[in-house]
Amino acid sequence: KETMAAAMVGFARYRGRDDFCDPFCGSGTIPIEAALIALNRAPGLGREFSAMRWDWIDKGVWGEAREEARSKEFHGEYHIVGSDIDAHSVNLAQENAARAGVGDIVRFEVADATKFARTTERGVIVTNPPYGERIGEKDEAEELYRAFGAAWRRSENWKLYLLSSHTEFERCFGAEADRKRKLYNGMIKCDLFMYYKR
């Protein structure tokens, strides 16, 4: 969901200055929201609203409001990456980024999150890995958390904001979060695990 992705990016206080990565990007929602936030793009800028058909509001007001919003956008060089082990998901993410108008800002790649390695000195990871909600998938999710935790610890100075419903996430990941925030992803009760320093 876009609202959850935007909230997670907000908790990370990402504004486009640091490198950004989502190593479990799926359809690309989190990196796309990060790009929109970095650009300072107004939510719903390209949407049509029913109020636009009301006779008592001058039609020119809508165009003026859009132009004002566009004039407040930032333009710069951003390093936003979304990756996933599934090539189909990466293709879908690229299509979604293009539809959102940020296809030239976000880079997507096929990559295994358990081999996460970035060469830049610092950055922020915001991600929503698989929860393992179905029977038989819990063990897989726990192993994924262990392997990703080991990979993340090798990447110095990368802050991490990770959403999970797993009640034993920190034990599996191998590190206690600096802070946790309770959130709901739809009907699923989750925690946003925040890691600032190591």
Residue 85 lies in a domain: yes
Statement: the pTM of the whole predicted model exceeds 0.85: yes
Residue 47 lies in a domain: no
Look at residue 61 in the predicted model and tell me its pLDDT.
Answer: 76
Q: Which amino acid is at 166?
A: H
Residue 122 lies in a domain: yes
CATH code of 103's domain: 3.40.50.150
Look at residue 148 in the predicted model and tell me its pLDDT.
Answer: 95
* Bridge partners, 123 (sequence order): 19, 158
Q: Which amino acid is at 49?
A: F
Look at residue 107 in the predicted model and tell me its pLDDT.
Answer: 96
Helices (H), the chain: 2-11, 29-39, 59-71, 87-99, 138-154, 169-173
Kindly report, residue by residue over 101-136, the tens digit of the pLDDT: 999 999 999 999 999 887 777 899 999 998 766 545
Look at residue 104 in the predicted model and tell me its pLDDT.
Answer: 94
| The two three-digit tokens of residue 31, written as one number | 């990196």
User: What whole-number percentage of the chain has pLDDT above 90?
Assistant: 60
Look at residue 132 in the predicted model and tell me its pLDDT.
Answer: 62
Residue 49 lies in a domain: no
Is 124 within 8 Å of 18 (Cβ atoms)?
Answer: yes
Residue 27 lies in a domain: yes
- Give the chain's domain count: 1
Residue 54 lies in a domain: no
Look at residue 69 in the predicted model and tell me its pLDDT.
Answer: 63
CA-only gyration radius of the chain, Å: 18
Kindly report, residue by residue over 137-148, the tens digit of the pLDDT: 778 889 999 999
Tell me which residue range forms the domain holding 79: 2-41+75-195
Look at residue 11 in the predicted model and tell me its pLDDT.
Answer: 95
What is the residue-wise DSSP string for 102-156? -TTTEEEEE--GGG----SS-EEEEE------STTTHHHHHHHHHHHHHHHHHST
Residue 100 lies in a domain: yes
Q: Which residues of the chain have pLDDT under 70?
A: 42, 44-45, 68-69, 71, 73, 132-136, 197-198
Residue 69 lies in a domain: no
